[in-house]
Amino acid sequence: MARYKIALLPGDGTGPEVLREGVKVVKAAAKRFNAELDTTRYDFGGDRYLATGEVLPDSAIEELKGYDAIYLGAIGHPQVKPGILEQGILLRIRFEMDQYINLRPVKLYPSVDTPIKNKGPEDIDFVVVRENSAGLYTGLGGIARKNTPYEIAVQEMVYSRNEVDRCLKYAFETARKRNKDSKLTLCGKTNVLTYVYDLWERAFHDMGQKEFPDIERDYAHVDAITMWMVKNPEWFDVIVTGNMFGDIITDLGAMIQGGMGIAAGGNINPEGVSMFEPIGGSAPKYTGQNVINPLACIFAGQMLLDHLGETEAADCVEKACVAFLESGKLPGLSAKEIKEGGSSTSAIGDAIADYAATA
């Protein structure tokens, strides 16, 4: 039997509620395929920060490096100034654990509504590989002449060839592994950001020609891609892009696949420890009400299993989610619909765990 050590970071707001259901389903699927997850909870988040003044203890990163994966609920607390927890927990883990890929599947499941007219699950099935450690998120820059009319602020978009190459390599490999259209689209802005995206474009074609001749290469400017993602989502198989553009287009991706209640992501260090999370926020106003939709967190659990190499268990989670979605038992994806429809976070988790264990 394979055993894995998983760090749980429930976080803030409704994070603990969705993570509880995610763990329930992931454990049920793993058990079926003879794998076991040993979970350890960490209380990093807003409440701990308000009580102790500490966001992430210095020992945390070293400790987290000892796990096979990290499973996160949500970060964001209404009484904590925006940015403190996001930077002190989420971004710090991403950076210090060198999780340089943000992997975001954009997949429309049957029985899930997309706001795009005349598009269905056969049209919306691609993944975004977002560079997750550098670019505009590097934190290089500054402010001078603060609070004068002459104040200036600079925030640099920084990329080294190595940072670009390692991200591209992951993206090309993802296109190969998916074995769908064998197509990789670079999303950039070569007409204006003539240094950074010139580097990306040269690196993209260099690597494609030399190492991935079987993968078709395509290019789209970031503004145009927001249009194509809505108008022709079926054009995409794998999209690769820098950190900031990736942040923006993956929220658009989440919307076309049914919203934040469905969308999951992985912060991946292909050589180290990776972290999986639902990409919606902590939805604090629903805390403790047992009405928040746990599907996104369950899909994050599917990604976690897949990353561990437990592909059968991962497929089982996905199939269980699809079976549940098709059962008609879900009154809707939003907390309001779940509440008014008489369902609940734990009932959804129980039903999916049941499918995962038996169906």
Residue 208 or 266 having the CB closest to ligand IPM: 266
Binding test (CB under 5 A) with Mn ion, winner from 247, 312, 315, 354: 247
Applying the rule CB under 6 A, the residues between 297 and 336 that interact with ligand IPM are none
Residue 74 or 351 having the CB closest to ligand IPM: 74
C-beta separation of 306 from 33 below 8 A: no
- Catalogue the E-assigned strands of 252-341: 264-268, 274-278
Chain centroid offset of residue 180 CA: 21
Residue 137 or 212 having the CB closest to ligand IPM: 137
86 contacts Mn ion (rule: CB under 5 A): no
C-beta separation of 33 from 314 below 8 A: no
Residue 274 or 343 having the CB closest to ligand IPM: 274
Applying the rule CB under 6 A, the residues between 221 and 250 that interact with ligand IPM are 247
283 contacts ligand IPM (rule: CB under 6 A): no
Least Å from the CB of residue 247 to Mn ion: 4
Q: Strand 35-41 vs strand 274-278: parallel, antiparallel, or unpaired?
A: unpaired
What is the total count of residues that contact ligand IPM (CB under 6 A)?
5
C-beta separation of 97 from 275 below 8 A: yes
In angstroms, the CA 319 to CA 312 distance is: 10
Binding test (CB under 6 A) with ligand IPM, winner from 72, 91, 203, 222: 91
Q: How many CB atoms lie within 10 A of CB 260?
A: 18
The contact mask relative to Mn ion for 127-156 (x = CB under 5 A, - = no) is ------------------------------
90 contacts ligand IPM (rule: CB under 6 A): yes
Least Å from the CB of residue 275 to Mn ion: 15
N-term to C-term CA, the chain: 22
The contact mask relative to ligand IPM for 58-77 (x = CB under 6 A, - = no) is --------------------
C-beta separation of 25 from 301 below 8 A: yes
What is the total count of residues that contact Mn ion (CB under 5 A)?
1
Residue 250 or 302 having the CB closest to Mn ion: 250
96 contacts ligand IPM (rule: CB under 6 A): no
Please state the φ and ψ torsions of residue 101, each to the nearest 5 degrees: -120, 135
Least Å from the CB of residue 71 to ligand IPM: 15
Locate 121 and state its tokens.
């699950």
47 binds, among ligand IPM, Mn ion, none (CB under 5 to 8 A by kind): none
Binding test (CB under 6 A) with ligand IPM, winner from 47, 86, 98, 216: 86
Q: What residue is closest to ligand IPM based on CB?
A: 86
How many CA within 13 A on the CB side of residue 74? 32
337 contacts ligand IPM (rule: CB under 6 A): no
C-beta separation of 21 from 346 below 8 A: yes
91 binds, among Mn ion, ligand IPM, none (CB under 5 to 8 A by kind): ligand IPM
Residue 90 or 112 having the CB closest to ligand IPM: 90
In angstroms, the CA 315 to CA 85 distance is: 33
Residue 218 or 247 having the CB closest to Mn ion: 247
136 contacts ligand IPM (rule: CB under 6 A): no
C-beta separation of 270 from 101 below 8 A: yes
How many CA within 13 A on the CB side of residue 34? 2
Least Å from the CB of residue 128 to ligand IPM: 11
Locate 28 and state its tokens.
């049920």
Which residues, including other chains, have CB under 8 Å from residue 121's CB and lie 6 or more apart?
107, 108, 109, 110
Judged by phi (left if over 0) then psi (alpha if -120 to 50, else beta), residue 45 lies in: left
Residues that bind Mn ion (CB under 5 A): 247
Residues that bind ligand IPM (CB under 6 A): 86, 90-91, 247, 279
